[in-house]
Amino acid sequence: MLERLHAKVDEQPFARRLGMRLVELREGYSKVEMEPSDDNKNFFGTVHGGAIFSLIDQAFGAAANSHGTVAVAISVTVDYLRPASPDETLYAEAREVSRTRRISTYNIEVRNQDGELKAACLAMAYRRDERIQFE
């Protein structure tokens, strides 16, 4: 199941357009890489907060759905700590910190290739009563 989910996550056109790639996936954990481009810049010349949020969301979605049950976001709080430049490789790591039948919680950190923390996030997902279906 994790292999099929990994492939589905990487196939998403939006994520590919932003230069994202799922690096690692296991139950309750994911790591996503993003190679920002000039298209990801804001008017200050740094990586746009929306691109960083999308990276966070990609890691969150993969980790939250890694148990095979459909999970959807109900809350995402992001703290942007340092600007990221478009020439940095960014990584988002999502770690499950709590999971019940209905709610799961994740800590997500965005770091560059040197390990500098760029953003931190706390996210919650609602777990539905349906299994993920693959075509």
Q: For the domain 2-131, what is the CATH code?
A: 3.10.129.10
What are the structure tokens assigned to 5, written together? 């989910």
What residues does each domain of the chain span? 2-131
- Taking 90 as the threshold, does the pLDDT of residue 135 lie above it? no
The pTM (predicted TM-score) of the whole model is 0.96
| Mean pLDDT, all residues of the chain | 96
What are the structure tokens assigned to 120, written together? 């931190």
| Rounded-to-integer distance, Cα 44 and Cα 11, Å | 31
Question: For the residues 16-24, what does the mean pLDDT come to?
Answer: 96
Residues shown for the chain? 135
Question: Can you give the pLDDT at residue 43?
Answer: 96
Phi, psi for 44 (deg, rounded to 5): -90, -10
Tens digit of pLDDT for each residue in 31-76?
999 999 889 999 999 999 999 999 999 999 999 999 999 999 999 9
pLDDT classification of 1: cutoffs 50, 70, 90: confident
